[in-house]
Chains A and B, each alone.
Chain A
Amino acid sequence: MNNRPAPAPAPAIDILLGVLFGIILTKAEVISWFRIQEMFRFEAFHMFGIIGSAIAVAAVSRRLLPPPPAPTLCGEPTPTADASADDQTGRGTRFWLGGAIFGLGWALTGACPGPLFILIGGGISVMVVALASALAGTWAYGYLRSRLPH
């Protein structure tokens, strides 16, 4: 993903950052099905404010930081942490179509992948089933991948 040598492993820092991220998403109620419904019904500014200000702060921070190593042409660097963006880019069908499928699920469960982990930790034990189902979905994509438009 980049040329910088990986720093010494610091699992404690990764966990600690996760803890903070989980607390923020919980206290801002981003993990609540109710808030996601409110967002898709345009009945409150809350979620839009969170997503919008997060993007703004992240974008400004990117400007202030030195550019990441290994810049590539035409905006090609992988934007995602998951390794799936490094392959099969095609015409971009995967982004809007995959995104729309994700959006259906997001509205139904009221949780994207992060909140799934957070809700389980928070004691909503039935979300273990939602996580297992999400794993099945990821597996199914892997199985069907060569037959899907990308």
Chain B
Amino acid sequence: MLPSALTDTWPWYVAGPLIGLFVPLLQLLGGKQLGLSGNLRHLCAALLPRRPAFLRYDWKSTGVWNLLFAFGTAIGGWIGIHLLGTGEIALSPTAQTALHQLGLTDLSGLVPRELFSWPALLTLRGFVSVVVGGFLVGFGAAYAGGCTSSHAISGLSNFQLRSLLAVLGFFAGGLFATHLLLPLLF
């Protein structure tokens, strides 16, 4: 049996510093910058037809390591869920109440099945969560030139003003969606 410290939810003071260490680790291993959103651009450049100029560049020289990293994270997700037993999320009771009020009945699992399942795609709230949300993530990350890992962690730790603007934007958009859009859509 695996020790419960491994299979329970990892506390923030363990996970956060470990995530932070990827910044120096990647820098030492060839001056790479932590960031996952570049992969969306690389995948577009590699796969999609009729590419605008933004997506016509040598993705193989800049993006292969990052695509491999992303591939690794998918394996890590499989290990984390299936071998290290992520079961239920220890959500705060107030958050549970708020989500019930929003109309979600099933708060089990890693993500709500009422939103993130194939049948739910045909519901308004499922479609908005998966398709509209995904589109905005891809559009916004490309527009802002980075995502949570690249702007919030890489950029803020390097005291970049542009990253501070981006992170303030992340939270403005997230708060708007959470408190104004979700009650309308759900």
Q: Could you tell me which A residues sit within 8 Å of B by CB distance?
A: 1-2, 4, 6-7, 9-11, 13-41, 43-59, 61-62, 64-65, 68-69, 75, 77-85, 89, 92, 94-114, 116-127, 129-143, 145, 148
Complex contacts, B94 vs chain A, CB 8 Å: 41, 43
Tell me if B84 and A27 are in contact (CB < 8 A). yes
Bound together, the chains give a CA A147 to CA B170 distance in angstroms of: 22
Complex contacts, B35 vs chain A, CB 8 Å: 80-82
Q: Could you tell me which B residues sit within 8 Å of A by CB distance?
A: 6, 9-44, 47-48, 51-55, 57, 62-66, 68-82, 84, 86, 89, 91-92, 94-95, 98-99, 107, 110-112, 115-118, 120-121, 128-163, 165-179, 181-182
Tell me if A37 and B145 are in contact (CB < 8 A). no
Bound together, the chains give a CA A123 to CA B139 distance in angstroms of: 25
Residue of A nearest to B97 (CB): A43
Tell me if A68 and B27 are in contact (CB < 8 A). yes
- 6 nearest A-B residue pairs (beta carbon): A22-B76, A18-B72, A99-B169, A103-B173, A82-B38, A121-B74
Tell me if A25 and B111 are in contact (CB < 8 A). no
Bound together, the chains give a CA A18 to CA B121 distance in angstroms of: 29
Complex contacts, A23 vs chain B, CB 8 Å: 76-77, 79-80, 84
**Residue A106 contacts which of B38, B66, B173 (CB distance < 8 angstroms)?**
B173
**Residue B81 contacts which of A51, A53, A68, A122 (CB distance < 8 angstroms)?**
A122
Total of A-B residue pairs, C-beta within 8 Å: 561
Complex contacts, A69 vs chain B, CB 8 Å: 31
**Residue B135 contacts which of A40, A54, A55, A105 (CB distance < 8 angstroms)?**
A105
The 30 sampled A-B contact pairs (Cβ below 8 Å) are A2-B31, A11-B64, A15-B71, A19-B75, A25-B15, A26-B81, A26-B84, A27-B6, A37-B95, A44-B95, A51-B152, A54-B157, A56-B17, A62-B23, A65-B24, A79-B150, A94-B143, A98-B141, A99-B168, A100-B173, A102-B169, A103-B176, A105-B177, A106-B133, A106-B137, A120-B77, A126-B118, A133-B132, A137-B140, A142-B52
Residue of A nearest to B164 (CB): A95
Complex contacts, A41 vs chain B, CB 8 Å: 94-95, 98, 178-179
Tell me if A29 and B89 are in contact (CB < 8 A). yes
Given the interface contacts A22-B80, A101-B136, A105-B133, does A95 sit within 8 Å of B69 by beta carbon? no
Q: Do most interface residues of chain B lie in helix, strand or loop, or is the interface mixed?
A: helix
Complex contacts, B133 vs chain A, CB 8 Å: 104-111, 130, 133
Tell me if A140 and B77 are in contact (CB < 8 A). no
Complex contacts, A54 vs chain B, CB 8 Å: 16-17, 19-20, 153, 157
Residue of A nearest to B167 (CB): A99
Tell me if A127 and B145 are in contact (CB < 8 A). no
